[in-house]
Amino acid sequence: MRLLKRLMTAIAGLALTIFSANARIVVDVNRGHADPLPIAITDLVGSENDIVSGGSVQDYGKRMALVVKADLTRSGLFRTVDSGAFIKSGNALTSLRNPNFSNWKAIGAQALMNGSISLQEDGRLKVEFRLWDVLGSSQMTGLRYYTSPKNWRRIAHLMSDAIYKRLTGESGYFDTRVVYISESGPATAKIKRLAIMDQDGYNHVFLTTGKNLVLTPRFSPTAQEITYLSYHGDNPRVYLYNIDSGKQEILGDFPGMTFAPRFSPDGNKVIMSQAYKGNSDIYVMELRTRKIQRLTKHTAIDTSPSYSPDSRYVTFNSDRGGSQQIYVMDADGKNIKRISFGKGRYSTPVWSPRGDLIAFTRQYKGKFYIGVMKPDGSGERLLSESYLDEGPTWSPNGRVIMFFRQQPYDRQGRGGETQLWTVDLTGYNERQIITPLEASDPAWSPLIR
Amino acid sequence: MRDAIIISLVFHVVVLASGMIAIPMWRDDKPTEMRVIPVEMITVGEITKLRAQEKKPDPVKKIADAKKKPAQRKVEMPPEPPKLASTMPLPDIKSKPKKKIKDKKPIKTAVNRAPRITPKTKPRRFNVGKLAVLLDKREQSEPNIIEKLKDRDFGPEKQISSLDLEQQILSIADAIDKHIFDNQCWNVPAGAKGAAGLRVTVQVRLGPDGELIGAPKVVQSSRMTMPGQEFFRTAAESALRAVRKCAPYDFLPKDKYDLWRDMEIIFDPEHMLNG
């Protein structure tokens, strides 16, 4: 009997052990918040006695931290903690590798970036930074760069990209440039010049003189190369412009009017629309062979073509259904399907580099909107609204859209200024990009390699 | 010969016991155990709202008894049943428990509260097997339980319904969910692609004071370091941040420490990202 008791006890113990592995309350959390992540960005620690052109190494460290702060804040996904709240403790250099996490936690920071900058014997700057998980008390990433002092902004953007990628999981977009049409002069005789700048508006350069009208610049997705349209007399020509070399070449003279040239995702083709004898259709040109293939043949106006990132499909704009709407077809011109069915007119469809959305301009009841929809036409969301919003272009990570906005004219004919704006996919983070003159028709570059 | 009989007996009992106890656990996902949901919903909602109120004797058991639950939903309990019986603070129900049952048609009430409670209830997949698990938790906190079991010759003990424990579990889970939301601890990873695959389960161990013991662990943590799984890693890190930011969980009922010492918190951003 005693043996039996022991056995039963052992069995009970066994049963309890079997279940112990699953002995947990399970909490389902599916409600969260979409607030910016609080991150502390400290100045890069550097010597004030080492002087390079433009200031001390310490000054460069401060400036770079400011650029990183501005990049991350502008993305809308981060909130930088006010440096006035930073709690100073211990030696600045030793705390680079051993941050006092409780101090950073106390001021609400959930991530921390710190780092150092120093001058090398060869005149280059050595910049290194670390990103820390404050709540987890661990390092998330750490990188080191060597660069000429004149590239300091670019290094700061690369740091922003690294932080953005580590904390969001997707590639950044800060080390990029934007090409656009700079406009000046009266509305009736505007001088339009091709201009390029960093995505935050700095390092601005005019690429053309303004002698000839330029339109629709577009970046190659694979190289620092631009295609754009320029008029010589009455003849529009499609040009290729290499930013690094400054070399410019004519892609070809086309019969009739050519509009909206845009690169294919591999950079080997240019897709565009051509108007010939009053009818506009979609054509594609192989850049290597200059061979042209016609994709649509319809009496309606087909224009603004854009490839999907896998090159399998093309979205374009057509009034073949009676009003201007967005269509998607196979890359060979077959299986044309209409995807926009809302009220008003849809135009300038642009496929996201991520492939999941198509950005467009919608005109309805006297207002313009920039919106996005899925490639099958579902899930339409309008992100911006104004008197005139036009010309969406995607950041290379497919998270932000840049476009241009025109102010309304008043009764005296004043107004009508155009500026560049960005909006992210939430639609809540709309920001103007400051340019020296008026600006329109932006095109966002891929990440600079 | 006698040893052979004993060994044979032992193996038979082990096999039978495993079959009786473990098989229901393996059928975790089957929805048949959800028949008790309407009653649970009423109780859980009120418990969650009133969790800070004074602790009073448990009326829920009376309600449960009044409903005459089927015999298979009652489980043999180890000693000290009063500790195990539901003592969650339920003053509102306590005040007029029976009247409530009469006044409100349970099904109707359940429907009214369904939008909030139903999705939370289903994934918990509670079953009789988990009840036994919870008993095991108690055993771990009181190491002499096996001795007690042995001394009492497994005599008839006071029974506790699975419903009572499930109510306690749901109430605690609901309170934790509410705590995480109210304190804005979970910042959903923004803009991630493929939200459907970003469900993250975090295993948490708490001390009696509600502080985290050790680092919270992500189930499938190996996925965090795989190339191409950056969005999962981001989601997992946001979940870990949420768990850490919301600590301590000192609002949980101290006398139910056995229930919430170990738990799993599932962070699912799908509704947020697609909604």
From B139, B129, B54, select the one nearest B89 (Cα to Cα).
B54
Q: What is the pLDDT of residue B45?
A: 39
A43 inside domain: yes
Estimate the crossing angle of helix B128-141 against helix B162-182, to 10 degrees: 80
- B residues 104-143 closer than 8 Å to A (CB): 119-120, 123-125, 129-130, 132-137, 139-140
Please provide residue A404's backbone torsions phi and psi, each rounded to the nearest 5 degrees.
-115, 150
Please provide residue B257's backbone torsions phi and psi, each rounded to the nearest 5 degrees.
-50, -35
State whether A267 and A407 are in the same domain: yes
In a mutational test of the B interface, the residue from A28, A138, A352 whose CB has the highest number of chain B CBs within 10 Å is A28
Kindly report, residue by residue over A286-316, the tens digit of the pLDDT: 888 888 899 999 989 999 999 999 999 999 9
State whether A141 and A232 are in the same domain: no
Residue predicted with more confidence, B13 or A62: A62
B177 to chain A, any CB pair closer than 8 A? The answer is yes
Name the residue of chain B whose CA is nearest to A35's CA: B187
Residue A316 token pair: 């374009």
| Most confident range, picked from A9-23, A88-102, A319-333 | A319-333
Q: Which residues contact A98 (CB under 8 A, 6 or more apart)?
A: none
A30 inside domain: no
State whether A181 and A308 are in the same domain: yes
| Chain B residue numbers touching A356 (CB-CB < 8 A) | 193
Predicted TM-score of the model (pTM): 0.73
On the question of pLDDT at B19 being above 80, the answer is: no
C-alpha–C-alpha distance, residues A349 and A334, integer Å? 18
Note every long-range contact of B203-206, with CB atoms under 8 Å and residues 24 or more positions apart, other chains counting: B203/A24, B203/B262, B203/B263, B203/B264, B204/B243, B204/B262, B204/B263, B204/B264, B204/B265, B205/B261, B205/B262, B206/B249, B206/B252, B206/B260, B206/B261, B206/B262, B206/B263
On the question of pLDDT at B20 being above 50, the answer is: yes
Kindly report, residue by residue over B148-206, the tens digit of the pLDDT: 433 443 334 445 566 677 888 888 999 999 999 999 899 887 766 666 678 899 999 99
State whether A219 and A85 are in the same domain: no
Q: What is the pLDDT of residue A255?
A: 61
| Chain B residue numbers touching A7 (CB-CB < 8 A) | 6, 9-10, 13
Q: Where are the domains of chain B?
A: 2-182, 195-274
State whether A338 and A402 are in the same domain: yes
Kindly report, residue by residue over A424-448, the tens digit of the pLDDT: 988 888 999 999 999 999 999 999 8
From B64, B86, B87, B83, select the one nearest B74 (Cα to Cα).
B64
Whether residue A179 contacts residue A207, with contact meaning beta carbons closer than 8 Å, is answered with yes
A168 to B153: CB separation less than 8 angstroms, yes or no:
no
Kindly report, residue by residue over B93-133, the tens digit of the pLDDT: 334 444 444 444 444 333 333 333 333 334 444 444 444 44
What's the whole-number mean pLDDT along residues B6-23? 71
B150 to A5: CB separation less than 8 angstroms, yes or no:
yes
| ipTM above threshold 0.85 | no
C-alpha–C-alpha distance, residues A431 and A199, integer Å? 12
Name the residue of chain A whose CA is nearest to B120's CA: A28
From A201, A210, A155, select the one nearest A177 (Cα to Cα).
A201
Between the two ends of chain A, the Cα-to-Cα distance in Å is 80
Q: Which residues contact B195 (CB under 8 A, 6 or more apart)?
A: B269, B270, B272, B273, B274
DSSP code string of B133-148: HHHHHHHHHSTTHHHH
State whether A121 and A193 are in the same domain: no
Last residue of a domain, one of A121, A147, A168: A168
Q: What is the pLDDT of residue A312?
A: 95
Whether residue B264 contacts residue B226, with contact meaning beta carbons closer than 8 Å, is answered with no
Q: What is the pLDDT of residue B194?
A: 60
B92 to chain A, any CB pair closer than 8 A? The answer is no
What's the whole-number mean pLDDT along residues B77-100? 41
Q: What is the pLDDT of residue B169?
A: 86
State whether A415 and A440 are in the same domain: yes
C-alpha–C-alpha distance, residues B135 and B153, integer Å? 18
Whether residue A131 contacts residue A140, with contact meaning beta carbons closer than 8 Å, is answered with yes
Q: How many domains does chain A have?
A: 2
Out of A16, A33, A424, the one facing B186 most closely (by C-beta) is A33
A3 to B269: CB separation less than 8 angstroms, yes or no:
no
Check which CATH number belongs to the domain holding A418 and give it.
Answer: 2.120.10.30
Residue predicted with more confidence, A58 or B75: A58
State whether A182 and A328 are in the same domain: yes
Q: What is the pLDDT of residue A249?
A: 83
What's the whole-number mean pLDDT along residues A410-421? 85
Residues of chain B above pLDDT 90, percent: 22
Out of B22, B137, B266, the one facing A28 most closely (by C-beta) is B266
Last residue of a domain, one of A115, A142, A168: A168
Check which CATH number belongs to the domain holding A93 and give it.
Answer: 3.40.50.10070
Residue predicted with more confidence, A412 or A151: A151
A136 to B242: CB separation less than 8 angstroms, yes or no:
no
What's the whole-number mean pLDDT along residues A201-211? 89
Average pLDDT, chain A: 88
Residues of chain B above pLDDT 70, percent: 42
Residue predicted with more confidence, A3 or A18: A3
Give the structural domain span for A300. 177-444
State whether A111 and A203 are in the same domain: no
- pLDDT class for A9, splitting at 50, 70, 90? low
State whether A391 and A270 are in the same domain: yes
Out of B244, B266, B271, the one facing A27 most closely (by C-beta) is B266
Say which range, A33-42, A272-281, A333-342, B32-41, has the weakest mean pLDDT: B32-41
A11 inside domain: no
Q: What is the pLDDT of residue A21?
A: 41
C-alpha–C-alpha distance, residues B130 and B214, integer Å? 25
A:B CB pairs within 8 Å: 174
Residues of chain A above pLDDT 70, percent: 92
State whether A264 and A368 are in the same domain: yes
